[in-house]
């Protein structure tokens, strides 16, 4: 499964499998998959879209949880730290990982019109690694965020032009 975000797919199954994978990984590693952590992950999974911490907080509050900002931040930190979600620096927002439990540094394809986000496994990888090695630099993390138009928004843009 790679980058289903822009294609129509069985989204209910998509949410179920990501939550199940997160729950399984937490159980395996002795991590607490608390109710609020699970709920925040579900909220991020609800749409393949980047959400800010305050969007999450608003939704938690709308559900009557009376959550304070640190609650949302801590849950997001937990999800990012353990690979269940990613932080999108460009948008100062978060998105659920579509391959939770796998250590990876995907490239993010971010739609500037609808904020939907897809992961792509084609990072700069080897070429950047070699260039860095040539300078004696050890890369620990690369963040690649590409901004553009998703197929849905590109279609709309074309129609508007016509
Ligand atoms: Zn989905
Ligand atoms: Zn991911
Ligand atoms: Zn879009």
| 4 Cα–ligand 1 center, Å | 7
pLDDT value, residue 78 = 95
Assess contact for 14 and 45: CB atoms under 8 A.
Answer: yes
Assess contact for 88 and 145: CB atoms under 8 A.
Answer: yes
For the cut 50, the answer to whether the pLDDT of residue 152 exceeds it is: yes
Q: What's the pLDDT band for 3 if we cut at 50, 70, 90?
A: very low
SS (H, E, C) 84-112: CEEEEHHHCEEEECCCCCCCCCCEEEEEC
Ligand nearest to the CA of 18: 1
Residues 6+ apart with CB under 8 A from 113: 149, 150, 153, 156, 157
| 77 Cα–ligand 1 center, Å | 22
Q: Where are the alpha helices (DSSP H) in 3-162?
A: 11-29, 35-46, 53-62, 69-81, 125-134, 151-161
Ligand nearest to the CA of 79: 2
| 80 Cα–ligand 3 center, Å | 24
Is pTM beyond 0.85 here?
A: no
Residues with CB under 5 A from ligand 1 (ion): 11, 14
Domain hosting 51: range is 4-161
Q: Residue 126: which CATH number?
A: 1.10.10.10
For the cut 70, the answer to whether the pLDDT of residue 5 exceeds it is: yes
Q: What is the mean pLDDT of the chain?
A: 87
| 33 Cα–ligand 3 center, Å | 31
**pLDDT more than 90, % of the chain:** 53
For the cut 60, the answer to whether the pLDDT of residue 149 exceeds it is: yes
pLDDT, mean of residues 5-20: 88
pLDDT value, residue 123 = 57
Ligand nearest to the CA of 48: 1
pLDDT value, residue 148 = 95
pLDDT, mean of residues 32-46: 94
Number of domains present in the structure of the chain: 1
* CA distances (Å), origin 12, targets 15, 59, 63, 125, 151: 5, 19, 20, 32, 21
Per the structure block, which two tokens stand in for 104? 């990876």
pLDDT value, residue 1 = 40
Q: What's the pLDDT band for 162 if we cut at 50, 70, 90?
A: low
Residue 41 phi/psi, 5-degree rounding, is: -60, -45
Ligand nearest to the CA of 12: 1
pLDDT, mean of residues 36-59: 92
How many Å apart are CA 32 and CA 84, to the nearest integer? 13
| 35 Cα–ligand 2 center, Å | 22
Task: State the CB neighbour count (10 A cutoff) for residue 7.
Answer: 11
pLDDT value, residue 104 = 77
| Structure confidence by residue, pLDDT tens digits, 64-96 | 887 788 889 999 999 999 989 999 988 899 999
């Amino acid at each position: 499964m790679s980058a289903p975000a822009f294609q129509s797919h069985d989204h209910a199954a998509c949410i179920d499998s990501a939550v199940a994978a997160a729950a399984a990984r937490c159980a395996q590693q002795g991590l607490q998959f608390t109710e609020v952590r699970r709920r925040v992950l579900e909220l991020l999974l609800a749409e393949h879209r980047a959400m800010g911490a305050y969007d999450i907080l608003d939704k938690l509050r709308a559900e009557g949880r009376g959550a304070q900002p640190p609650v949302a931040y801590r849950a997001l930190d937990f999800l990012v730290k353990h690979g269940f979600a990613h932080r999108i620096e460009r948008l100062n927002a978060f998105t659920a990982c579509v391959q939770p439990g796998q250590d990876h540094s995907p490239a993010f394809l971010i739609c500037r019109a609808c904020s939907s986000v897809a992961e792509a496994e084609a990072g700069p990888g080897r070429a950047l690694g070699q260039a860095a090695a040539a300078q004696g630099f050890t890369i620990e993390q690369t963040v690649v965020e590409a901004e553009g138009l998703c197929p849905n928004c590109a279609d709309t843009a074309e129609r508007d032009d016509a």
